[in-house]
Structure 1
Amino acid sequence: MAMNQPMPQPSEPLMKQDAVLEESRLRDVLRSLLRHRSAVIGGAIVLFFLLVALLADFIAPYDYAERSEDLLQPPSAEHWFGTDEMGRDIFSRVLYGSRISLRVGFFAIAGSIVIGSFLGLIAGFYGGWRDVVISRLFDILLAFPSILLAIAIVAMLGPGLNNALLAIAIINIPTFGRLMRSQVLSVKQEDFVLAARAMGMTNRRILFRHILPNSWTPIMVQGTLGFATAVIEAAALGFLGLGAQPPQPEWGTMLADARGFIQLAPWTMVFPGLAIMLTVLGFNLLGDGLRDVLDPRMKR
Structure 2
Amino acid sequence: MVGSILGFNMKRSEFMTTPTTTRAIMGKQFLSHRSAMIGAMIVTLFLLLAISAPLITPYDYTERSPDLLTAPSAQHWFGTDEMGRDIFTRVIYGTRISLWVGFFAISGSILVGSLLGLIAGYYGGIRDTFISRLFDILLAFPSILLAISIVAMLGPGLNHALLAIAIINIPTFGRLMRARVISVKTEDYIAAARAIGMKDARIIMRHILPNSWTPILVQGTLGFATAVIEAAALGFLGLGAEPPAPEWGTMLSDARQYIQLAPWTMIFPGVAIMLTVLGFNLLGDGLRDIYDPKMKV
TM class by shorter chain equals over 0.9
Q: Distance in 2 between matches of 1:30 and 1:103?
A: 27
Matched, 1:36 2:16: no
Structure 2 residue runs of 5 or longer lacking an equivalent are: 1-16
Match of 1:177 in 2: 174
Aligned to 1:265: 262
Partner residue of 1:194 out of 178, 191, 199: 191
Q: How big is each residue's C-alpha offset from its partner over 1:172-216, in whole Å with a ceiling of 9 and x where there is no partner?
A: 000000000000011101111111111111011111110111011
Report the counterpart of residue 6 of structure 2 in structure 1.
none
Within the alignment, does 1:98 sit opposite 2:95 as a pair?
yes
User: What TM-score do the two structures reach when normalised by structure 2?
Assistant: 0.94
**One-letter amino acid of the counterpart of residue 79, structure 2:** G
CA distance in 2, matches of 1:159, 1:243: 6
1:114 to 111, 118, 123: 111
Q: Runs in 1 of length 4+ with deviation above 2 angstroms?
A: none
Aligned to 1:230: 227
C-alpha distance in structure 2 between counterparts of 1:28 and 1:192, whole Å: 25
1:50 Cα shift? 0.3
* Structure-2 residue corresponding to 1:64: 61
Corresponding position of 2:123 = 126
Moved more, 20-29 or 57-66: 20-29
Counterpart Cα distance in 2 of 1:198 and 1:142: 38
Q: Which letter does structure 1 place at the counterpart of 2:174? A: G
* d(CA) in 1 for partners of 2:89, 2:217: 32
**1:165 and 2:159 matched:** no
Give the gaps of 5 or more residues in structure 1. 1-19
Q: Give, in whole Å, the separation in 1 of the partners of 2:128 and 2:258.
A: 52
Note the C-alpha offset of 1:24: 2.0
Secondary structure, counterpart of 1:196 in structure 2: helix
TM-score (normalizing by structure 1) = 0.93
Distance (Å, rounded) in 2 between the aligned partners of 1:204 and 1:114: 17
Q: Which residue of 2 aligns with 1:83?
A: 80
Aligned residue number for residue 291 of structure 2 = 294
- Which of 245, 253, 257 is residue 250 of structure 2 equivalent to? 253
Aligned with residue 22 of structure 1, among 19, 22, 25: 19
What one-letter code is carried by the residue in structure 1 that aligns with 2:187?
E
What secondary structure, in the 3-state scheme, does the structure 2 residue paired with 1:213 have? helix
Q: Distance in 1 between matches of 2:295 and 2:256?
A: 42
Cα deviations by residue, 1:29-85 (Å, 9 ceiling, x for unpaired): 111101000000000000000000000011122100000110000000000000000
Output one character per residue of 1:222-253: Cα deviation in whole Å (capped at 9) or x when no partner: 00000000000000000000000000000000
* 2:140 corresponds to 1:143: yes
Q: What is the CA–CA distance in structure 2 between the aligned matches of 1:55 and 1:128, rounded to whole Å? A: 51
Structure 1 residues 4-19: aligned runs within 5 Å = none
Distance in 2 between residues matched to 1:256 and 1:182, nearest whole Å: 40
Aligned length: 281
CA distance in 1, matches of 2:157, 2:23: 40
Q: Name 1:10's counterpart in structure 2.
A: none
- Shift of the alpha carbon at 1:22? 1.8
Match of 2:211 in 1: 214
